[in-house]
């Protein structure tokens, strides 16, 4: 056991920073016990450790010096989270007018908002330009033309999203830096250089000064849940080479280089995870060295971590509804949530750990599969789990590392109501997002 594990009784690499195993078998987070939270808010319940989020924001800021750290809101966004991100001095990456509406609701500083998306709708762009976001990350030639033609277009700043042809070795559905996927302008085909040409070509058209947005720099994002640091280094080198090619062709030194996010986290003990400090050292060194090679000034870096900020802060508490003996041995433990609050096992084969909370189990552990309540045989939350032999209906189970891409990807499948998100800190809990009600479900059903 690691020293940290002995101190908290939990694997610190998996559980939130303030999580503690209590002597009676319960788990507390932010000084509040899961059993107390479940009694007050019901289950399923998504718990967010505020200290954990803040600590990870600071770790990224410390690791990257004067770089801009933009939290990727797609991982988990609500007003409380946006405020916390703003307080910690991070910027915010949004990818829809819906995410922007949340930023707007807390008056997130517009200059620190980046708008992404491979298919931004007219509403997305209107909202971005209307709010005066700091950068729009252009993803297609038609978007470049639309921005040039937009009434507010000339007042915004733009990054061009490049697919640098680097494979981060993650799940195919999460790979976004290679050729042949839908995001960005491929480097290999010359499309990225052509995108730069189009934007800069608008600037001196007819000697009338700049039409369309100012080109602030280049962007790439290799994908998500990547742990190979050499992939980020290689992308940095290729992107700096493109910055140098832009300088050589146009005489323009672009000031910003956004290397995206995608930093992988450990969901289970022993899994690899990106250490922000090591990432910062290696990526900054790769950029510095590439800039020296090309005799370029070092651009201002932007990083966009989503999962690495939010994942570990989240724990989902479920109530056991039934326990069945499984034909293949062990037990099937069915809980009151499932693929509607965590679609990741079904989508990516994602694996989790689970633990009994609220009491101490007896009789040793046995093999268990934790399944959800939905009408699909594939609604499995945790495979290959081990749970106390006496686990029974009414028990609480806690699944760690559910802070990113859980609430944000939750659905109403089977018209199940989405769970609340409750932030905990210093012995207090506060609702960030309340539980959905039957009235909520019926509110849009106007037929």
Ligand X SMILES: N[C@@H](CCCC[NH3+])C(=O)O
Binding residues for pyridoxal 5'-phosphate: 262, 304-307, 405
Ramachandran quadrant class, 111 (left: phi over 0; alpha: psi -120 to 50; beta: rest): alpha
Query: Strands, E, within 239-377: which ranges?
Result: 256-258, 300-303, 314-325, 331-335, 355-357, 365-371
Give the Cα separation of 394 and 134 in Å (integer).
49
- CB 14, min distance to ligand PLP, A: 17
Between residues 25 and 223, which has the closer beta carbon with respect to ligand X? 223
Contact pick of 18, 224, 369, 402 for ligand PLP (by CB under 6 A): 224
Give the Cα separation of 29 and 291 in Å (integer).
44
Q: Is 411 helix (H, G, I), strand (E, B) or coil?
A: coil
Q: Is 263 in the site for ligand PLP (CB under 6 A)?
A: yes
The encoded tokens of residue 231 equal 């992939």
Contact pick of 43, 96, 175, 225 for ligand X (by CB under 6 A): 225
Q: Radius of gyration (Cα) for the chain, nearest Å?
A: 23
Look-up of token digits 């651009």: 299
- Name the segment binding ligand PLP (CB under 6 A); options: 12-20, 72-80, 332-340, 436-444: 72-80
Between residues 235 and 396, which has the closer beta carbon with respect to ligand PLP? 235
Number of chain positions touching ligand X (CB under 6 A): 8
Q: Is 261 in the site for ligand PLP (CB under 6 A)?
A: yes
Alpha helices in 311-348 (DSSP H): 344-348
Between residues 247 and 383, which has the closer beta carbon with respect to ligand X? 383
Residues tagged in the binding site annotation for substrate: 307, 344, 348, 376, 405
- CB 74, min distance to ligand PLP, A: 6
Catalogue the long-range contacts made by 143-152 (C-beta closer than 8 Å, 24 or more residues apart). 144/195, 144/198, 144/199, 144/212, 145/198, 146/122, 147/212, 147/213, 148/202, 148/211, 148/212, 148/213, 149/212, 150/125
Give the Cα separation of 258 and 301 in Å (integer).
6
Contact pick of 56, 307, 406, 418 for ligand PLP (by CB under 6 A): 307
- CB 334, min distance to ligand PLP, A: 30
Cis check for the bond before 425: say yes or no (omega within 30 of 0): no
Q: Is 72 in the site for ligand PLP (CB under 6 A)?
A: yes
- CB 95, min distance to ligand X, A: 8
Contact pick of 344, 355, 373, 425 for ligand X (by CB under 6 A): 344
C-alpha distances out from residue 83 to 30, 51, 86, 241, 273, Å = 19, 14, 5, 37, 27
- Name the segment binding ligand PLP (CB under 6 A); options: 30-38, 184-192, 209-217, 221-229: 221-229
* Residue 68 binds which of ligand X, ligand PLP, none (CB < 5-8 A, kind-dependent): none
Q: Which secondary-structure segment (H or E) carries 296?
A: none
- CB 230, min distance to ligand PLP, A: 17
- CB 220, min distance to ligand X, A: 13
- Measured in degrees and rounded to the nearest 5, phi and psi for residue 221 equal -150, 115
Contact pick of 224, 340, 369, 402 for ligand X (by CB under 6 A): 224
Q: Is 174 in the site for ligand X (CB under 6 A)?
A: yes
The footprint of ligand X (CB under 6 A) covers: 74, 174, 224-225, 344, 348, 405, 409
Q: Which residues bind ligand PLP (CB under 6 A)?
A: 72, 74-75, 93, 116, 221, 224-225, 260-263, 304-308
């Amino acid at each position: 056991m690691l020293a940290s594990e002995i101190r908290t009784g939990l694997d610190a690499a998996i559980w939130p920073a303030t999580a503690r195993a209590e002597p009676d078998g319960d788990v507390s987070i932010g000084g509040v016990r899961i059993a107390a939270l479940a009694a007050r808010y019901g289950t399923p319940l998504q718990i967010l450790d505020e200290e954990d989020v803040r600590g990870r924001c600071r770790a990224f800021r410390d690791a990257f010096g004067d770089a801009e750290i933009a939290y990727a809101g797609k991982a988990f966004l609500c007003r409380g989270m946006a405020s916390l991100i703003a307080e910690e001095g991070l910027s915010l990456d949004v990818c829809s007018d819906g995410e922007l509406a949340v930023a707007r609701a807390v008056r997130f500083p517009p200059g620190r908002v980046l708008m992404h998306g491979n298919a931004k709708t007219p509403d997305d762009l209107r909202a971005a330009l209307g709010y005066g976001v700091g950068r729009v990350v252009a993803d297609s030639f038609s978007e470049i033309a639309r921005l040039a033609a937009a009434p507010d277009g000339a007042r915004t700043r733009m990054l061009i999203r490049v697919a640098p042809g680097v494979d981060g070795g993650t799940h195919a559905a999460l790979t976004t830096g290679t050729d042949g996927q839908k995001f960005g302008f491929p480097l290999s085909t010359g499309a990225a250089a052509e995108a730069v040409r189009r934007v800069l070509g608008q600037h001196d058209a007819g000697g009338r000064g700049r039409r369309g947005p100012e080109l602030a720099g280049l962007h790439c994002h290799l994908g998500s849940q990547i742990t190979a640091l050499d992939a980020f280094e290689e992308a940095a080198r290729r992107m700096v080479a493109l910055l140098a090619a832009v300088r050589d062709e146009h005489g323009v030194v672009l000031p910003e280089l956004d290397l995206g996010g995608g930093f992988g986290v450990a969901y289970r003990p022993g899994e690899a995870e990106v250490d922000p400090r090591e990432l910062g050292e290696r990526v900054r060194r790769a950029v510095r060295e590439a800039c020296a090679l090309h005799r370029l000034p070092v651009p201002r870096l932007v990083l966009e971590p989503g999962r690495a900020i939010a994942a570990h802060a989240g724990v989902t508490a479920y109530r056991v509804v039934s326990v069945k003996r499984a034909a293949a041995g062990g037990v099937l433990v069915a809980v009151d949530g499932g693929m509607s609050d965590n679609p990741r096992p079904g989508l990516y084969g994602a694996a989790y750990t689970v633990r009994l909370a609220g009491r101490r189990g007896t009789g040793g552990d046995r093999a268990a599969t934790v399944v959800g309540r939905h009408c699909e045989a594939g609604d499995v939350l945790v495979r290959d789990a081990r749970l106390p032999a006496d686990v029974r209906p009414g028990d609480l189970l806690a699944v760690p590392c559910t802070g990113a891409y859980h609430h944000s990807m939750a659905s109403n499948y089977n018209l199940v109501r989405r769970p609340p998100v409750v932030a905990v800190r210093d012995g207090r809990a506060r609702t960030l997002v309340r539980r959905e009600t039957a009235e909520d479900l019926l509110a849009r059903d106007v037929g």
